Amino acid sequence: MTVSSSVWDSVLEHTMSAQVKNSEPHLWAIQLSSSLNSAGVDLPSLELARLLVSHICFDNHVPITWKLLEKALSLNLAPPLLVLALLSTRVVPNRKLHPAAYRLYMELVKRHAFSFSALINAQNYQMTMKSIDDVVHLSQIFGVQLCEPGILLVEFVFSIVWQLLDASLDDEGLLEQSLEKNSRWLSRLQDMEIDGNENFSEKRNEHHEGLHKVNTTMAIELIEEFLKNKVTSSILYLARQNMPSHWGGFIERLQLLVVHSTALRNSKHTTPDAFLQLTSDTHRVLSREGKTISHHEFHAVMFSGSLKSSVGQCHGASHSAVWLPIDLFLEDTMDGSLVTTTSAVENLISLVKALQAVNRTTWHDTFLGLWIAALRLVQRERNTSEGLMPRVDTSLSMLLSITTLVVTNLIEEEESELIDETQQNPANQRKEKQGKLQKGLITSLQLLGDYEGLLTPPQSVSSIANQAAAKATMFISGLTVRNGYSMSINDMPVNCSGNLRHLIVEAFIARNMLDTSAYLWPGYVNARANQVPRGVPSQTTGWSSLMNGSPLTPSMINILVSTPASSLPEVEKIYEIAVNGSGDEKISAAAILCGASFVRGWNIQEHTILFIINLMSPPVPADHSGTESHLINYAPLLNVLLVGISSVDCVQILSLHGLVPLLAGALMPICEAFGSAVPEVSWTLPPTGEELSCHAVFSNAFTLLLRLWRFDHSPLDHVLGDIPPVGSHLSPEYLLLVRNSLLASFGPSTRSQLKLRRYSKILSLSVEPVFMDSFPNLKLWYRKHLECIASTFSGLVHGTPVHQIVDALLNLMFRRINRGVQPSTSGSSLSSGPGAEDAQARLKIPAWDILEATPFALDAALTACAHGRLSPRELATGLKDLADFLPASLATIVSYFSAEVTRGIWKPASMNGTDWPSPAANLSSVEQQIKKILAATGVDVPSLSGVLWLHFLCH
């Protein structure tokens, strides 16, 4: 609609008033928006843009007017790109007279020239671009007859960069050395230098000249940002492909700047080499295969909204919104308190498929979203200050093992579908579908190089990333390194720094999803040819020596434990030693498998886990006889495996791979066998000479088993509804059912066969189903455990074997107490039996029997404590002694006491005194420390009472 001139007179009057009063820009903008809306002016307003720029240049070139202009742009009252176009024709040609204006113009470019979503989504998008063409004369300069908005946008971005380039050359006296000698962007409005001299004088003093130099450097760095930014570099790539003659002139001047610019050489943020790399690199988005886009295709791309889609996916909140479910899923998987029975690979495959279908994205965009989410997870974990220990290893496994397996499975699924279709209908080859996901993988990894901020590796793996980069550098330089050799730090190229993309690419090469042609991708190798090492490294790795037949010496064992295997044959070699080697060799091989190959052997991680689980289920020897389980003879080997995979990271990695059910199926026979054995036999462990008992092996296996299901949740959690009711959450029975189903899935389907093809041929997993009835002692303990949680504890029958074990446990727990009394297991007293000195001798019985009696001993101890016959400190000390004797008893201690606390039938016990002082004196300092920690996160809390803080600390 037509707006009367009085409206704009009012706007100018309002602006002049704000300028004189030095008003708050935000208040000015709100009042301006209200008056324009009342007058029926559509926002953002083209006329407002012209008015504000004309007002500033240069009669009102003062700080407050620039602040008002910036506020109008940030609140979308005026189109930012039109404002930049208007300023470019006024400010840049007059930058020597008005250097402050030039500096402010570039600040506006930095803020508003890299985001186009608001412009493209606006109703007046076409009119805005037509106005920009009228101002800058883009169609005339570039000779393009079709004035379509998308084409004009490409031309305008190109013109901004070219204008900054010419201005920089002119400022350093280099423009005369170009072929054209002058600039089409700087000469048209030089006469404006006479405007405004009287109202705003900027004398050419030392400060003036200093600002000129700073502006030149800033303009050069801004040019680099246009070349590096994902969106603008994509737009410039369109200009390069479809305006070759203009691009040639631009590159000629850019090379002139690179060779002769003093400002570029002195810049702290960029280098001449970086400029050359950005302009020679063909890594831009729209044509990864180097094909020139025809003018017809160029127009089609611009008219179809592809640019709009690309901007939306790659910039700011839109990209996050599309792939946020992946971020949330990955964050959930890092919850160490949760151990899942399903593979993160399978869950993530389903999620990726759903998002790809819903968002209608290409596969390379889908994979790119997956990489970015996983990289963000790694960066969060490397910088986190939460928790007792960092989870960097787990997050790296998610990036380099799980996500690579997700993509590998998707590609194999596509391959299996093609094979099935070909077998059903040989005449229908479906050629157009073949390799679509494979190409998407390659493109996504090439695009990933633009996200440098996410690719910085954690310190713990930086040397591994550098090795991957060095390997690629030597490959493209024509040098080969024999298998079994690694590069030392001294052998590496000077500038051969690797990042997480190098590790991702190596992971896919190891899984035969990529080949070494990936090393030739533009920008993948960052070291020049003259930096390549002269000679081939001469030091062999431990794994190479092993493969060449070297024995397992102590020094080699240390190397293999701390260095992950790089290939499946290396892991297979260690597995064969663990199966067929001597006793000491088996133990060493087991330790090696549980070392770095488990935690950081991302390319072979799932194989390593399966080998470990298989070692936990050794076959029955042909000469085995007797009723005792054959597993007892493998105690040292099994204990090394149990201890080796018990860390927080290891259990979480097992959970990520969905192999918890298989591990549970291997642990239950160990628990049943060692928990049923009488600890009369012990083993001496090399090299420490430590003695190993059946109780120790049982405790390690039983504790690990408990961590695989939600045992640690108290009955209160069930009551409050935080987890499902008793009996419906994860349980040993459920783990076995999932295990049976998982093994049964290895069927004859094409997809299953492709999946099995990746696994080691020497691995043989039993697919026979296993049920709880095979483990009667474990089943009985589990039933008693549920009874303990669900109901009050039943009394102990005197004179039974259980009663005798209870007395022995009480003597063990409270053998330090000597009160001259003869307590018993009834009422308020404790039994000491025939004597506390032989308590441990009397407890040389199967661990299952001890666990059966433990709740009764705990009940007697708590009863004595409630009647004053036992102090809280003595109770705590006794519990510690019990846990030291049989660590597996901690499970019963936790379940019993959590159940009793939930039932609330015991009176509070006083825990303050000489031996156990009150914590009240320390609460104030603890409160200050907690408040300091919270304040660092931006949370300010009021002072709380000591009771509330004590509650906080206890939980």
Using CB atoms within 10 Å of the CB of residue 294, give its burial: 0 to 12 exposed, 13 to 18 middle, 19+ buried.
Answer: exposed
Is residue 560 scored above 90 in pLDDT? yes
Residue of 300 and 234 predicted with greater confidence: 234
Residue of 691 and 486 predicted with greater confidence: 691
pLDDT recorded at residue 663: 93
Q: What is the pLDDT of residues 80-109, one digit of tens each?
A: 999 999 999 999 999 988 999 999 999 999
> Among candidates 748, 645, 752, 642, which has minimal Cα distance to 697?
642
Where are the domains positioned within the chain?
1-78, 80-186+206-280, 322-419+435-520, 542-620+628-720+728-774, 783-816+839-903, 923-954
Using CB atoms within 10 Å of the CB of residue 63, give its burial: 0 to 12 exposed, 13 to 18 middle, 19+ buried.
Answer: exposed
Q: DSSP secondary-structure letter at 689?
A: T
Q: Percent of the chain at pLDDT above 90?
A: 28
Single-letter amino acid, residue 604: I
Contact 685, 636 (CB under 8 A): yes
Q: What is the pLDDT of residues 839-888, one digit of tens each?
A: 677 888 999 999 999 988 998 888 888 888 888 888 888 999 999 999 99
Is residue 945 scored above 50 in pLDDT? no
pLDDT recorded at residue 402: 95
In this structure, how many other beta carbons lie within 10 angstroms of the beta carbon of residue 439?
Answer: 15
DSSP string, 611-645: HHHHHTSPPPPTT--SSS-GGGGGHHHHHHHHHHT
Is residue 297 scored above 50 in pLDDT? no
Residue of 924 and 468 predicted with greater confidence: 468
The rounded distance, in Å, linking the Cα atoms of 505 and 514 is 8
The arithmetic mean of pLDDT across residues 288-311, rounded, is: 36
Q: Which residues lie below 8 Å from residue 944, measured CB to CB, with a gap of 6+?
A: 927, 952
Q: Which residues lie below 8 Å from residue 676, measured CB to CB, with a gap of 6+?
A: 629, 777, 846, 848
In this structure, how many other beta carbons lie within 10 angstroms of the beta carbon of residue 136?
Answer: 22
The arithmetic mean of pLDDT across residues 652-663, rounded, is: 91
pLDDT recorded at residue 423: 62
pLDDT recorded at residue 146: 63
Q: DSSP secondary-structure letter at 693?
A: E
Is residue 690 scored above 50 in pLDDT? yes
Q: What is the pLDDT of residues 488-539, one digit of tens each?
A: 444 554 456 889 999 999 999 999 899 888 998 888 886 554 454 444 343 4
Furthest C-alpha separation in the chain: 113
Contact 516, 509 (CB under 8 A): yes
Q: DSSP secondary-structure letter at 154?
A: H
Chain mean position to CA 596: 20
Q: What is the pLDDT of residues 62-84, one digit of tens each?
A: 999 999 999 898 888 999 999 99
pLDDT recorded at residue 114: 85
Which two tokens mark 159?
């013109």
User: Beta-strand (E) ranges in 287-432?
Assistant: none
Which two tokens mark 769?
């189903």
Could you tell me the CA-to-CA distances from 657 to 406, 512, 747, 782 in Å, in that order?
11, 20, 19, 26
Contact 739, 667 (CB under 8 A): no
Is residue 627 scored above 50 in pLDDT? yes
Contact 120, 308 (CB under 8 A): yes
pLDDT recorded at residue 912: 62
Q: Comparing 218-222, 463-467, 471-475, 622-626, which segment has the lowest mean pLDDT? A: 622-626
Contact 595, 562 (CB under 8 A): yes
Is residue 426 scored above 80 in pLDDT? no
pLDDT recorded at residue 752: 55
Terminal Cα-to-Cα distance of the chain (whole angstroms): 65
Q: What is the pLDDT of residues 932-943, one digit of tens each?
A: 777 766 656 555
The rounded distance, in Å, linking the Cα atoms of 113 and 117 is 11
Question: Which residue do the tokens 């009252």 mark?
Answer: 77
The rounded distance, in Å, linking the Cα atoms of 265 and 34 is 50
User: Beta-strand (E) ranges in 762-836?
Assistant: none
Which two tokens mark 123?
């109703």
Question: Which residue do the tokens 């943020």 mark?
Answer: 269
Mean pLDDT of the chain: 78
Is residue 193 scored above 70 in pLDDT? no
Contact 559, 542 (CB under 8 A): yes
Residue of 176 and 110 predicted with greater confidence: 110
pLDDT recorded at residue 299: 40
Rounded to 5°, the CA angle 159-160-161 comes to 90
Q: Which residues lie below 8 Å from residue 814, measured CB to CB, with a gap of 6+?
A: 830, 832, 836, 861, 870, 874, 878
Q: Comparing 198-207, 514-523, 602-611, 882-891, which segment has the lowest mean pLDDT? A: 198-207
State the pTM of this model: 0.63
Single-letter amino acid, residue 633: N
Contact 80, 109 (CB under 8 A): no
The rounded distance, in Å, linking the Cα atoms of 817 and 465 is 59
Q: What is residue 659's three-state secondary structure?
A: coil
Tally of residues, the chain: 955
Q: What is the pLDDT of residues 755-802, one digit of tens each?
A: 666 677 888 777 788 889 999 999 999 888 887 777 766 667 776 788
The rounded distance, in Å, linking the Cα atoms of 72 and 46 is 12
Phi and psi at residue 190, to the nearest 5°: -65, -25
Q: Percent of the chain at pLDDT above 70?
A: 75
Could you tell me the CA-to-CA distances from 955 to 389, 476, 952 in Å, in that order?
19, 57, 5
Q: Which residues lie below 8 Å from residue 584, measured CB to CB, with a gap of 6+?
A: 686
Q: What is the pLDDT of residues 48-60, one digit of tens each?
A: 999 999 999 988 9
The rounded distance, in Å, linking the Cα atoms of 561 and 598 is 10
Is residue 454 scored above 60 in pLDDT? yes
Produce one character per residue of 780-801: b if its CB has 16 or more CB atoms within 10 Å, e if not.
Answer: ebbebbeebbeeebeebeeeee
Is residue 310 scored above 50 in pLDDT? no
Q: Comparing 21-30, 111-120, 439-448, which segment has the lowest mean pLDDT? A: 111-120
pLDDT recorded at residue 730: 66
- pLDDT-derived band at 328 (thresholds 50, 70, 90) equals confident
- pLDDT-derived band at 679 (thresholds 50, 70, 90) equals confident
